[in-house]
Amino acid sequence: MSIDYKPAVHFNHVSYTIGENQILRSITGSFPEGRITTLVGPSGAGKTTLLKLCNGLLSPTMGELYVQGQLIESYEPTELRRLVGIALQSAPMISGTVYDNLALPMVLQSKKFSKEAGRRLLRDVGLEEEFLQRKINDLSGGQRQKVSIARTLVNQPNILLLDEITSSLDRTSQKEIEELIVAINRKYGTTIIWITHNLQQALEIGYFTWVMMDGEVVETGRSELLKSPATDKARNFIKGGAV
Interface residue list for another protein (CB under 8 A): 55-59, 73, 77-79, 81-82, 85-86, 88, 90, 92-94, 104-105, 108-109, 151-152, 155
Q: Which is nearer to another protein, 152 or 223 (CB)?
A: 152
Least separation in angstroms between CB 161 and another protein: 9
Least separation in angstroms between CB 220 and another protein: 25
| CA–CA gap between residue 208 and residue 203 (Å, rounded) | 9
Antiparallel, parallel or unpaired: β 208-213 and 191-195: unpaired
Q: Which is nearer to another protein, 104 or 182 (CB)?
A: 104
Q: Which is nearer to another protein, 3 or 93 (CB)?
A: 93
Q: Which is nearer to another protein, 79 or 130 (CB)?
A: 79
What stretches of the chain show up as alpha helix (H) in DSSP?
Answer: 47-54, 77-83, 98-107, 115-124, 141-153, 171-188, 199-205, 232-241
Residue 200 contacts residue 206 (beta carbons within 8 Å)? no
| CA–CA gap between residue 160 and residue 125 (Å, rounded) | 14
Least separation in angstroms between CB 195 and another protein: 15
CA distances from 36 to 12, 31, 78, 185 (A): 20, 9, 24, 7
Least separation in angstroms between CB 84 and another protein: 9
Q: Which is nearer to another protein, 106 or 243 (CB)?
A: 106
| CA–CA gap between residue 206 and residue 243 (Å, rounded) | 14
Least separation in angstroms between CB 68 and another protein: 16
Q: Which is nearer to another protein, 70 or 200 (CB)?
A: 70
> What is the per-residue burial (b if ≥16 Cβ within 10 Å, else e) of 33-63?
bbbbbbbbbeeebbbbbbbbbbbbbbebeeb
Least separation in angstroms between CB 53 and another protein: 11
